[in-house]
Structure formats: structure tokens, C-alpha cells
Structure 1
Amino acid sequence: MARLMDTAFRIPGTGVSFGADFVLGLIPGFGDFAVAAVSIIIVNEARRLGVPNDKLIKMLVNVGFDTVAGRVPVLGDVFDVYFKSNWRNVQLVLDHFGLDHADLDRWRW
């Protein structure tokens, strides 16, 4: 889900990727709410996996920061391309379990 939200699409010839977070953020009002709702699902899944509260709080701060910054017209949309809160949150979960993104790529189907 984090990949879909943050890095699903790549601009050819650049190292820039974006996801549904950017696309949904273009819809005034609803888009930022929808993105925050998906992000909260990721945080809740981390809670269910037993991630400690201090990391959950960091995850919620990432979501909050992304949501607030994403509300700024135009600049918020550009911000969404570079601040990948869901990807950061997945990294916090992986760090908790001693894994990295390469481990996820090996297990992905």
C-alpha cells in the first residue's frame, strides 16, 4: 500500500517517483482526507504487528505533517512528491523488525 501511495509511478529519465498520494492530493479537500485515511490504515496495521508506541507516534507525526503540508495549494502537491510519509512509516516498521526494503522485495509476490 505504501508503494502505491508514494512511489507507484516514475517520471521517465528522472529519479523522481510519485504515487496516489500526489494524484489524490490534487482533489481539493477530499484528496488529503483520503490520503490521511489510507495512511492511518498503515499505522493501525503497524500497531497490530506490535510496533511500540514511540514508533507509532513518529508514524502519526509523519502522517500529520504530510496532511498539513499537503493542504497548501500547489506547493503541497509538490511536497507530496518528495515527502513520502507512508514509505517512511514502512521503514519505521521494518527497522523495528530488523528488516529493510530489500527484504520486502524478496518476499513480494
Structure 2
Amino acid sequence: MTMHQQSYSGPTANARRKSRAPIIDQDGREIPRDTLRRAPFDDGGFDFQSWRGNGFSPLSRAQRLARLEALAKLLDVAFILPGTKIRYGLDGLIGLLPVVGDVITTAISLWIVREARELGAPWHITARMLGNVALDGAVGVVPLLGDAFDVMFRANVRNMRLLRRWIDKQR
């Protein structure tokens, strides 16, 4: 019998499932398997009944806020200029591309405002957020001066501060 004709006689799927190592969280605690959500591909097949069209489960309000804050920090203060205390983000870097870069970063900033509106922010908060984005976008179009303004003004961090203050007052 050749190697290609031999069949695999390893453990069955049930035996493999039982012999898996424990799942450990970042603090070293074991996570019970029954609390984990079953992925549609667990058994090597695909379960069309449990699969959702978008592939993502809905996020809680706190998760959405955390995602927005992470995005704002990435856009405005993710990096430090070596040898200084000046922080900058992708907004300043992408903004170096004339016009196109500013359009891209303004669109991302507008998405943050849209998410704030979906979280229930009132019109006066979103109007101030839109004002920050408009100022950042308008001045950002000016070569080099606009990029320096992007680094110093930090419209996305300002907008998240406005949103966070409003949310904290609601509690």
C-alpha cells in the first residue's frame, strides 16, 4: 500500500474537541467553553442557520464608544515626533497628500459625527462636532500650514471629548 492509499485514522472530531487545550484569557483565567459563541466553521462545515449576513454581532454602546475613541486617537495622537513631545496621528500623515488626503480624513471624521448621532447625541453637540470637522477640513487643505493645524487642533479628539461629556451628563 502506498502512502497515498493509506487513510487517515486519527482521532474523530468529537475526540479532538474534547482533547483541546483550555482557553485562557489575558489575565490567565480559564474561560469555560460553553460561554463562548460557536463559530459557523467549528466542525469543518458551515452552518447557514446561525450565520448572519454581515458576520458581526451588534456592538454595545460602550463598545461603540471605545471604537470611536480608538479611531479618534489613531487619527490625532497615535504617534510621537521623536525627540519632542508633539503627538500626531494619521490625520496629519494622510493630510500630506494634497486635497485627496484631506478629503479622506474629513470623511472619516464625519463618520465619527454620524456615529455620535446614532448614539443619541443632540443636535447642538453634533453641530459643534460638525464645526470642528469643517474647520479642520477647510484649514487642512492649505499645504503644510494645514497639516500643522491638523496636528495641533485635533478635531477628532475634541469631538470625542464633547461626546463623552454629553454621555457622562446623561448618567
- Under a length normalisation based on structure 2, what TM-score does the superposition of the two structures give? 0.56
1:78 aligns with 2:148: yes
Residue 14 of structure 1: how far off its partner (Å): 2.2
Measured after TM superposition, the shift of residue 8 of structure 1 is 0.7
Say if 2:96 is the partner of 1:29: no
Q: Percent identity at matched positions?
A: 44
Match of 1:39 among 105, 109, 112: 109
* 1: CA distance, partners of 2:115 / 2:85: 29
Distance 1:39 1:32 in 2: 10
Aligned twin of 2:122: 52
Structure of greater relative contact order (alpha carbons < 8 Å, 6+ residues apart): 1
Q: Unaligned 5+ residue runs, structure 2? A: 1-70
How far 1:12 sits from its partner (Å)? 3.1
Q: Which entry has the higher C-alpha Rg, 1 or 2?
A: 2
RMSD: 1.1
C-alpha deviation, 1:26, in angstroms:
0.3
Shift of 1:73: 1.1
After superposing the two structures, state which structure 1 stretch, 72-81 or 57-66, moved more.
72-81
* SS of residue matched to 1:73: coil
**Alignment length (residue pairs):** 99
- Which residue of 1 is the match for residue 166 of structure 2? 96
Q: Which amino acid aligns with 2:119?
A: L
Q: Residue 74 of structure 1: CA displacement?
A: 1.1
| 1:63 equivalent in structure 2 | 133
Measure the CA separation in 2 of the matches of 1:37 and 1:70.
13
More helix by share: 1
Structure 1: segments with no counterpart, 5+ residues? 100-109
Deviations 1:58-104 (A, max 9, x none): 000000000000011111111111000000000001000118xxxxx
Q: Which of the residues 13, 19, 25 maps onto 2:83? A: 13
